[in-house]
């Protein structure tokens, strides 16, 4: 076969690869995101012990995460990833359009001052990020709404024992950790959860793309 044939064939393959790459980038932005759940409007308390209703985030894209401040690994990693995301959001000029919400799944220990210390230790900018605590009932409502797995794991005589396997009354002073889903949620301007992403290993490019897509979608 002639050199011209191979040259034309090579150009054609490059064009096909370029088109395929463009489709992979553009198509996800054109397809509507699914709706997984809707955040309830409920009054919680923020890191300064001020009332904070989830309804006040309507009109903004929300990046929602969960923590408990005694967490040794996943929660600090997730918060660090989202702090990097917050900085990227600021550089993109989206700080007024995007809000970060983190709520504790361990409200008995995570009083507002504990949440504030946890956030400050990780350099959080509170101008568009709130750390929230609710009652046990409110916390369970959010857990059910988001479809989270959350379970205490008690330290009984040096052995970790999941709460679901305990058939006796555990003393109130028993040490425990919390096993939970490692996930963040991207919420649209109407309070609808539109994307579920890993928390501690979040792909920030992917999350920025999701935020951009929602910001480009007119709010109803």
Q: Where are the domains of the chain?
A: 1-31, 34-215
Cβ–Cβ < 8 Å for 54, 42: yes
Task: Encode pLDDT of 158-212 as tens digits.
Answer: 999 999 999 999 999 999 999 999 999 999 999 999 999 999 999 999 999 999 9
Neighbours of 62 (CB within 10 A): 22
DSSP state, residue 173: T
**The two three-digit tokens of residue 161, written as one number:** 């024992």
For 210, the enclosing helix (H) or strand (E) is helix 204-215
User: Phi then psi for 118, rounded to 5 degrees?
Assistant: -60, -45
Which residue matches tokens 């109407």? Answer: 190
Read off the pLDDT of residues 56-88 as tens digits, 9 standing for 90 and up. 999 999 999 999 999 999 999 999 999 999 999
For residue 130, the SS3 value is strand
Q: Does the domain spanning 34-215 belong to CATH 3.40.30.10? A: yes
**How far apart are the C-alpha atoms of 25 and 96, rounded to whole Å?**
26
In terms of Cβ atoms closer than 10 Å to its own Cβ (0-12, 13-18, 19+), residue 208 is middle
């Amino acid at each position: 076969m002639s050199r011209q044939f191979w040259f034309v064939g090579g150009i054609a393959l490059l064009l096909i690869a370029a088109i395929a790459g463009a489709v992979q980038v553009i198509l996800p932005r054109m397809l509507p995101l699914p709706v997984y759940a809707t955040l309830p409007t409920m009054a919680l308390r923020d890191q300064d012990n001020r009332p904070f209703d989830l309804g006040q985030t309507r009109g903004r894209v929300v990046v929602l995460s969960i923590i408990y401040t005694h967490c040794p690994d996943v929660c600090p990693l997730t918060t660090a990833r989202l702090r990097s995301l917050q900085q990227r959001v600021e550089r993109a000029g989206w700080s007024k359009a995007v809000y970060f919400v983190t709520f504790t799944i361990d409200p008995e220990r995570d009083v507002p001052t504990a949440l504030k210390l946890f956030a400050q230790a990780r350099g959080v900018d509170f101008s568009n990020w709130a750390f929230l605590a609710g009652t046990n009932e409110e916390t369970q409502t959010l857990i059910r709404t988001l479809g989270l797995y959350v379970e205490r794991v008690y330290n009984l005589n040096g052995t970790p024992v999941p709460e679901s396997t305990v058939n006796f009354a555990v003393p109130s002073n028993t040490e425990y950790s919390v096993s939970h889903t490692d996930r963040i949620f991207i919420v649209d301007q109407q309070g609808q959860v539109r994307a579920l992403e890993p928390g501690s290993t979040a792909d920030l490019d992917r999350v920025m793309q999701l935020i951009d897509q929602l910001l480009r979608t007119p709010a109803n």
